[in-house]
Amino acid sequence: MQILLSRAIDVFFQVLEWLIFIRIILSWIPLFGINNPVGRFIYQLTEPILGPCRRMLDKSPLGGGMMLDFSPVIALILMVLVKQLLLGLVAWF
């Protein structure tokens, strides 16, 4: 049971990481923007993670006027931390 739960957590976070990377790449290709069904699907899956990170950066003194969106970097770092926390809790029980 513990191995199955650990694997499920690992797969969940790997899928989220790949979706964020795909969204980054799609943001460089105008054809696959928010108006494209694929782009919209990726956007809907990743925005609950990237939106709060973007708002957090907008409130920081460094993030307000930046031309680059660093929210995926922050999200990936936070996801690694949460993943490690969850895997540690699973191993502890």
Q: Tokens 């290709």 sit at which residue?
A: 29
Please say whether the dihedral angle defined by the alpha carbons of residues 7, 39, 52 and 65, taken in this order, is positive or negative. Answer: positive
**Contact yes or no for 23/46 (Cβ under 8 A):** yes
SS (H, E, C) 13-24: HHHHHHHHHHHH
Q: How far apart are CA 92 and CA 65, in angstroms?
A: 43
| Residuewise pLDDT in 10s, the chain (93 residues) | 788 999 999 999 999 999 999 999 988 887 767 778 888 999 999 999 999 998 888 776 665 556 678 899 999 999 999 999 999 999 888
